[in-house]
Every structure is written in C-alpha cells, then in structure tokens.
Structure 1
Amino acid sequence: MPFSSFQQAVLDWFDLHGRHDLPWQRPRTPYRVWISEVMLQQTRVATVIGYFERFMRRFPDLPDLAAADVDEILALWSGLGYYSRARNLHRTARIVAEHHAGELPADLAGLAALPGIGRSTAGAILSLGFERRAAILDGNVRRVLARHHGVEGWPGESKVEKGLWQLSEELTPSKRCADYNQAMMDLGAMVCTRGSPACEACPLAGTCIARRDGRQTELPGPRRAGPIPVRSTFMLLTVDPDKRVRLQKRPPAGIWAGLWAFPEFDGLEQIVAWCALHSIHSRRIEPLPPRRHTFSHFHLDYTPVVVHCDARRTGVEETAQGLWHSLGAEIGFGVPTPVRQLLNELEQLI
C-alpha cells in the first residue's frame, strides 16, 4: 500500500532533517528503546543523552538492571526527576527476568501490563525496538496532530485523547513505521514546538488547520488549572566536626519516595526539640536563605537549617533509614535535586 500524502511528507522530511544519530539508535534494541522512552517522559532529549549513556555503561542489558540494587539505579537517575520512573524500571526488569526469560514482550498487551509502560511507550518499544506497526501518542505527537487536524480541547481529557489516538492509529503506516514514529516525535520537538512553531519549515504546513486559521498558539487546548498550591518546610542539615551531614531515607511512597534527603520539620522549634531528643549537641544553628522547588502539581518552599554539632551523635548513628555522608564524597545513592544542590552548597560553606 502506498503512503498517504501526510505519511510521505513526514517521511521525506525525516530523511532529510530527522534525528538519526541519538545514542539509543546505536544500536536500536527493545531494551535501549525502553530505557530511552522512559527517560524521555517529561524530559528533553538534550538532558536525557548524558543520563542514558551513563545508565547504559552501568546496565548494558536487562539482566544487569534486574540484578541491581534500586539505590544504585536511583543514584544514576538523580536529577532526572519523576523518580517513580526509575523504580518502575527496576520492577519491570525483575518481572521480565523472572517471567519472560529476560526479554521484553513483543506485543502491546504484554508490554502495557508492565509497571511504568503505558500505551504510547509500548507502541514506541514495538515500533522502534521490534520494527512492528504500532501507533504512539506522546506529547510531541499530540501537538502535531492537534494542530494539523484542528482538534479542540485539552489532550488530557478522555474524549480528546480518544480522538487523537484514533488519528494516530489511522495515520501510522504499515511500512517504515519506526521511521514514521521517530519522525512525528522529531517534528513535534524540532518544528511544531509548544511556544514558537517554525511553520515555514514544517512539511505539513500546507494542510495544517492551525496554521490556516492562525491558531498555532491556541492548539492544542490548555488544561484548565487553578493556582498552584504551595507547601512549606524546614530541612535539617546536621553537620558534625568531621564534615559529615546526616541524611535519612524517605518513605516508600509519596514525594521523593525511597530517596535519601534531609529530615523535614514545620519550624525551628521542632528542629531544636529533635536535636535534644537524639543527643545532638549543637554548637551553632544557621538558617540559610529560603528557596523554592517546583513539582508538577505544587511549589515546595523550604528553608535549610544548618546545625553544627559536636562529635556526640549517639542517638542518630547509621541505620537502615539514616546515614552520615562525608561532604565532597561521591554520592552513591539516590538524592533529589534540591538535596544534591544543598550538599554542594554545604561543601563550600563548611
């Protein structure tokens, strides 16, 4: 079956302008496609490249990933955010190693049943990794289809999403499916961008409804959102005379689940009481300037409080949930970005 004019335009553009030399394309295996697709969720290609290359050096195949400790995976993931993605990689690797002989399933239902693999990620693994026809609908593809076909509404709404999936299924060709899907992702990332689309360079400009009607900035429709809530906390940075700072492991659920971070409190009074309870004799308490970290659904305003303590730490020695980390030493475990930044800042201050 010959390509439609839409498919041919996309593929011709890809042959000349698409991305053909990304690390996960050399070689392009189901395992490497899976890791890259999960990393690329909510994250730009330029940011992912370094993380992907480091990850592949340590975990070159699925059995290596399945055998790893989750803390080592989280350490390599530190800075990418959305850490549930890393934990799901580990869970999926172990499931595949145990139930699928170490090979990712080569069917949509089998892939979508695994932790952290949704319909679009499964389609990417099938098409790019296994060279099988499968549609995708990541953020870039949503934007291209919504603008080209004039699809109204926020793509996160079930009715709108269903319509976009129908379009993606209809337009995905049987031949060169991997190239077509990569082309659609590249087109959204490089040309049909969110803020300032380069319509003059788009192979679909002549048939694009958004361009025809001058609605490039209106489509796809935005999510109706109220004000972003703000949470406040105080982080305790306990530093001993050996320039070690205490971290504790976060609970297995919630924000920064399973990562190592600083204990959090509602105020300075609670920090003083906690130090007394755990026999931490403070020589000086030094609040640092407050700062903000933004999650997808709220702002976290946090004030770091440095407590310089003496050598007596009998109440908070290393346990499974707490450790003392030497400032300047390699961080061999998962920490959130604000914690890594504070560790670097402390190294200069202490």
Structure 2
Amino acid sequence: MNILVTGGMGYIGSHTCLALYKAGFTPIIYDNLSNSSIKVLEQLKIIANHTFEFVEGDINDRDKLEATLNDYNIKAVFHFASLKAVGESTEQPLRYYDNNVSGTVTLLTAMQKSAVKQIIFSSSATVYGDPQYLPIDEKHPITATNPYGWTKVMVEQILNDWCLANEQNLAIALRYFNPAGAHPSGLLGESPTGIPNNLMPYISQTAVGQREFVNIFGNDYDTQDGTGVRDYIHIMDLAEGHVAAFSTHQKDSGSLVYNLGTGKGYTVLEIITAFSSSANVEINYKFAPRRAGDIASNFANASLAQEKLGWKAKLNIKAMTDDTWRWQSKYPNGLED
C-alpha cells in the first residue's frame, strides 16, 4: 500500500517512513525542504537498503498534491508537514495559520478529489493548553496557549468535521508530547536549520561545541527545580506509534485521537544532566526569561494507546540521550557537512 508522507524529510516524518517500510507499507515522501535536507534520502537508503520515492512540493500546492496522489495511487496520508516553533508562532501567527491550517485544508481538498479517505495527523500535546490535571488523558479539555497550538486545535476540528461529512473517512490525530532521540544507527536524527527550537538538539549542539551554552527559558516554574517539565518520547517509539495507529484502524472510519507519550516528565535540568552523562562532557547553561506561550509541566496518560493499539513507549531517557549523542557526534553540523 502506497502512503503519502507529507513532511517526510523532517525529523518525525523520516523516522516514520522507516517504520512504515519495515511494516510492509510503501511511503512516498512529499516535502518542500524548508526545514530539512535532501541528504535525508541517502540516509534512509543506507538504513533501509531501499530507495524511497520523493516529490518536492509544498502543502499549499493543490495541483501538485492531486497529481502526486493520483500518480502514485496513494491510499492514505501521514501528515507531518507543519511549522512547529512555539515562540516563532507568536511572532508570525499568520504564517503558521497559512501553512498549518490552510495547508491541511488544501491537502484534504486534494484527497477528496482523488478519493483518498484516510489520514494520520501529527497533532501535539499543545492542544491541551495549560494542563488542568496531570497526567493528561484524551478527555482533557482542548485549548491552546500559542498560535502553534491553536493551529493543531483547528486542524483537529477540521478533521472531525471532514469525517462527519463522509462516514467513510478516517482521521487519526496523534497528540504527542516531546519527541527526542535519533535512529540507533546514528545515521538519522534531528537536524534543524538555524537555531534549534527543541531542547534536545540545542543541548546536543552545545555538547558538540557548536553553541556556547544552553538557554533555559524560565527557572521559576512550580516544578521540582524551577525548570519546565516535559514528557520526552523516543523518536523510534513515536514512529512505531504511528504505524500501530494506522495498522489497527485502517479498515475503520471516523475521527479518533490518541496520546503518544511515556507518562513520565523530566525537567530541563534533568535532561541536561542525562545528556552530560551520555556525552561525557559538561554542558554549560544559562537561565533566561520564560518564553511566551510556554507552560510549567506537561506529561501524558497514554493508556488508551496501549489498550486500543497495543502500543507502549519502550525506550527510556538514557536511550534518547545516547542515541542523540551518537547522531550528533557523527554529524556535528547535521547532514550539511
């Protein structure tokens, strides 16, 4: 079965392509390379011993989407193409709504015209806003604290309405927490362009000497050491979660949601300590003011995914920091060496 993977050259998309291929599916990658490297294709080929099909295109290009869906006889879409920086979204909200929300509407319109009725959506725990209780389950009220989060809320609503309008449609929104780690081979990992927006690549770039210190945004939160608490999930576990969701529900219809997380939260300082151990280097850090839209603590109740999908995160924080360091030390400048 051919599956279109939008944003498939990115961090989560590329690892999910490997998981899909391993499970017997044929991923077709669709990406505009705005925050990824064409060199990802070669890394995927080395790891999987398979040449993945790639179409360079934008999520807002409906004609190219329709052509790709038809040319490759696509049966389902895994939708990762998204702008994803919380801080940047507060500075450039229209850009985020255009790409994340309008782009998804364009994709769904192309899918509808091409009779593609199944989509797995890369949602986020940001749809829970400032948690009313912890751990967060799927019944937690939906809101957001920043434009990036609101784009995820809006797309989930759009997918729900899309399914209500056609009882044959299937949309699965996977609300995941904080992806981290890298492929255990060290050949594939998170390689953001410019300054990283996620904690783990910022720490790893500091450990390898690219950056002088890690900025910790806020040390006055109501947490055990004053720094933010997040639920970090290994990228390999996350990729397997996507495959489990689709494999379980590919003959079903309707709008479904699942949390994908470990259920355990770590502070920023705990992650820095774990990474220091993996890299065997001291990692310098400085405290900075809180970022707009950030929250104190966020971690998952992922029991529904375990019950319905038979999926549970297996890899711990040491595996995340070990694998990230293996990737970063092999490719200090990402894939742009």
Instruction: Tell me which structure has the larger Cα radius of gyration.
Output: 1
Higher helix share: 1
TM-score range, shorter chain: under 0.3
Given the two structures, how large is their TM-score scaled by the length of structure 2?
0.23
Higher strand share: 2
